[in-house]
Amino acid sequence: MPAPTSQLPKAWHRWGEGKIAEILQLRLGLCLSPRTVRKYIRDLLPPQRPAGRGDQRWATFVRNHAKAIVATDSLTVVSATFRIYSVLVVMEIGSRRILYTNVTAHPTADWVRQQLRQAIPCGHAYRFLIHDRGSAFSTRVDGTVKSMGLRPLRTPYRAPRANTFCERLIGTVRRECLDYLIPLSQNHLRLILKEYVSYYNTARPHSGLGPGIPEPVGDAVEP
């Protein structure tokens, strides 16, 4: 590429091609199209760290047991009155289907235990439940999970890829729904999520399914 990377700030590799082209024009006087930057940017990016054997084993485990794994995580939402709510999401890895969502202003361990009892039906065929090490997911939660016939799998510290499906789901919920709507209250947020979950499960295509839909309309089950 015509511009040496030494002329760019250290964080340049986090930018898109458009911003890099603008910086090159302002600092070096080089008028380059973002297309030109895009053509050469891969050669300038630092080499990616190859996945470790542990990452590969975990990915293989999740892929082989996807139909028997559920995952859960939470996200925070700020209302129009500046109240902070926590949203719990439970999903089925194999089908990408959202099994359950609920909202609370006080995400305690007891609340999480009750939500998991409601999210996972009796007579289920699941074997594992993945969750992170948040304060609400205490050892008492793991005890409840075990009593439901599931083995809790706590993700390692600073390893968001260990729960990548649920992390991606939460990002999708934000980008497609919550970034465009500001809930007025806790009940309003529940209503928003209910409508989005219906769309996500019965209408939104997922490339990881072929592409496909988690719960086709003909197979939809009334809650």
pTM passes above 0.95: no
pLDDT of residue 52: 54
Mean pLDDT over each residue of the chain, to the nearest integer: 84
Tens digits of per-residue pLDDT, 163-206? 999 999 999 999 999 999 999 999 999 999 999 999 999 988 88
Q: How many CB atoms lie within 10 A of CB 195?
A: 12
- Which residues does residue 74 pair with via DSSP β-bridges, in sequence order? 88
pLDDT of residue 2: 45
Contact (CB, 8 A) for 142 and 120: no
Tens digits of per-residue pLDDT, 108-159? 999 999 999 999 988 899 999 999 988 899 899 999 999 999 999 999 887 7
**Domains within the chain, CATH numbers bracketed:** 15-48 (no CATH), 54-217 (3.30.420.10)
